[in-house]
Chains A and B, each alone.
Chain A
Amino acid sequence: ETGVTQSPTHLIKTRGQQVTLRCSSQSGHNTVSWYQQALGQGPQFIFQYYREEENGRGNFPPRFSGLQFPNYSSELNVNALELDDSALYLCASSLKWSGQYEQYFGPGTRLTVT
């Protein structure tokens, strides 16, 4: 158990809808990163939040947006869902950003878009 929790566990949405995924960081961690993992692939970086500010973004369109709250929990919002958005969404928390600090992942949210 890493102390990082995500909700919901599973979600089924229809193309064009909007979805919000949630993540609670490990205690003491002020940085949250979100990743998308398609079936059979490694996780792909979406964006990172540090102290409530976006601190880096991967190659994802603007319809992927996020928030980090004062308690360091975070949300990932995806608008206008597409079939290719079906994936496992992972959040990872760390003390500051990667490279020098260990990143701990949550169990993920499985999103299915039909």
Chain B
Amino acid sequence: SQELEQSPQSLIVQEGKNLTINCTSSKTLYGLYWYKQKYGEGLIFLMMLQKGGEEKSHEKITAKLDEKKQQSSLHITASQPSHAGIYLCGADMKTGANNLFFGTGTRLTVIP
């Protein structure tokens, strides 16, 4: 989707390293979702952010939504091989169709 840009497209990190994935929109994000996907499988819900400045954490993953609600970041601390996969951000932009727009994803590889 051109509405959401994710960066980087792919990331290779050594186990134990920290990393950040970004999701940027030119429009206001009314609901921002982070999902993880194993290749060819369904999406696993990670976190949902709605308020500007909101930050949520689950285990070693932290997601933030900026004050302007146009950018979100996903940060993984002390990465593990189990973190490997494709990370997708999805957003509700209140277009009237009640759907989520998705970025193209970030493929994360963690080297043991």
Residues of chain A touching chain B, judged by Cβ–Cβ distance below 8 Å, are 2, 4, 6, 33, 35, 40-45, 48, 50, 55-58, 88, 90, 92, 97-100, 102-108, 110
Q: Does B104 contact A (CB under 8 A)?
A: yes
Q: Are B99 and A58 in contact (CB under 8 A)?
A: yes
CA distance A33 to B33 in the complex (A): 15
Give the CA-CA distance A45 to B1 in the complex, in Å.
Answer: 10
Distance to closest chain B CB from A84 (angstroms): 17
Cα-based distance from A40 to B104 in the complex (angstroms): 7
Do A56 and B45 touch across chains, with their CB atoms under 8 A apart? no
Residues of B bordering A, CB below 8 Å = 1, 4, 30-31, 33, 35, 40-45, 48, 50, 88, 90, 92, 94, 96-105
Inter-subunit contact B99/A2 (CB<8 Å): no
Contact B1 A48 (CB under 8 A): no
Interface contact A56-B1, CB-CB below 8 Å: no
A99-B30, A99-B92 given as contacts; is B42 within 8 A of A45 (CB)? no
Knowing A42-B1, A105-B35 touch, does A90 contact B43 (C-beta < 8 A)? yes
Contacts A56-B99, A58-B99 given; indicate if A2 touches B31 (C-beta within 8 A).
no
- Residue of A56, A58, A102, A110 near B40 (CB, 8 A) is A110
- Most chain B CB within 10 A, of A6, A40, A43, A90, is at A43
* Complex CA distance for A105 and B42, rounded to whole angstroms: 6
